[in-house]
Amino acid sequence: MKQAVIRKGPDFRKSWHKFSKNYLSAVGLGVVALVAVVAIFAPYIAPYPTHAGFFVDYPEAHESPNWLHIFGTDQFGRDVLTRIMFGFRYSLMMAVVVLSLVVPAGVVLGLVAGYYKGSKVEMVIMRAADIFLAVPPLVLALSICSVLTPSVFNAMMAVSLMWWPWYTRLVYSISSSLRNEAFVQAAEIAGASPFHMIFREILPNCLGPILTKMTLDAGWVILIGASLSFVGLGAQPPTPDLGTMVSDGASFLPEQWWISIFPALTIVLIILGFNLLGDGVRDMFAAESV
């Protein structure tokens, strides 16, 4: 059975060309790649790998940025730069884990809800999504984390639990509007199974927005993770999480500003990187229009 005509997926070579011509997206990609590389190879490239965990060296404590410690040291004498590099690991891990859970679940739910629009299934799914979205995401995550033992793992679970509805809503709106398009109904008449309809006809048309959102979301997930740790409900000391570092260092403002400010700036950098990259991804898929 022939596949009905759908809007073609991106022509990758052309898209890459467009993407790389826009230098801002390339910058975004560069930043993200840098963060990823640093995160993966942190134990090998960080100047003081032992400082990542529990480590104390009081004579070296509170050193302002200098050649030995480019970002200075914190109150325990640990090198801030090293801890930031290790912190990238937790940030990226958060993004990867959360998105791997949330995207498949949310997308499938959205596809099903959109395809079976008007049925009980759709109602249940979308009402559930509405309930999870009734409260600002951070608040829900905070409360979930608070009833569990604070840890990186639990933080990831909490964020996943409140992130899925965004994808469901996104995909639902595309899926339900495509439901009545001619090409979908044509396939239906030809005897296609719902499985085929959902995954071979409708899903490809959602790819653009999904991928764009995923890229942008990576930054926001990292931000929420940092916010959770900032408050103390995510990673626990001595884990070198960016959020924990900002909050730990806050008590040393303004004299030893570097303990707090450098991690804070790297958070901004990561988010900016993902935002730039996400815009590039969006443009890549918008390449359809002349």
Q: How far is the CB of 145 from another protein (least distance, A)?
A: 7
Contact 246, 267 (CB under 8 A): yes
Q: How far is the CB of 81 from another protein (least distance, A)?
A: 18
Specify the residue, 205 or 247, whose C-beta has the smaller distance to another protein.
247
Helix, strand or coil for residue 35?
helix
Distance CA 17, CA 209 (A): 20
Helix, strand or coil for residue 73?
strand
What is the chain's Cα-based Rg?
22
Helix, strand or coil for residue 14?
helix
Per-residue tokens: 148: 């569990």
Nearest to 11 by CA among 287, 290, 289: 287
Q: How far is the CB of 105 from another protein (least distance, A)?
A: 17
Q: How far is the CB of 130 from another protein (least distance, A)?
A: 5
Q: How far is the CB of 54 from another protein (least distance, A)?
A: 22
Q: How far is the CB of 274 from another protein (least distance, A)?
A: 9
Instruction: Tell me the H-state helices in 232-251.
Output: 242-250
Footprint of another protein on this chain (CB under 8 A)?
A: 127-128, 130-132, 134-140, 142-148, 219, 223, 226-227, 230-233, 246, 250, 253-254, 257, 260-261, 264-265, 267-268, 271-272, 275
Per-residue tokens: 199: 């995954």
Specify the residue, 116 or 274, whose C-beta has the smaller distance to another protein.
274
Distance CA 36, CA 19 (A): 20
Per-residue tokens: 187: 């396939």
Nearest to 107 by CA among 160, 169, 196: 169
Specify the residue, 50 or 143, whose C-beta has the smaller distance to another protein.
143
Specify the residue, 157 or 207, whose C-beta has the smaller distance to another protein.
157
Half-sphere exposure (Cβ direction) of 51: Cα atoms closer than 13 Å: 25
Q: How far is the CB of 133 from another protein (least distance, A)?
A: 9
Specify the residue, 205 or 244, whose C-beta has the smaller distance to another protein.
244
Specify the residue, 97 or 264, whose C-beta has the smaller distance to another protein.
264
Specify the residue, 147 or 189, whose C-beta has the smaller distance to another protein.
147
Q: Is the peptide bond before 204 cis (omega within 30 degrees of 0)?
A: no
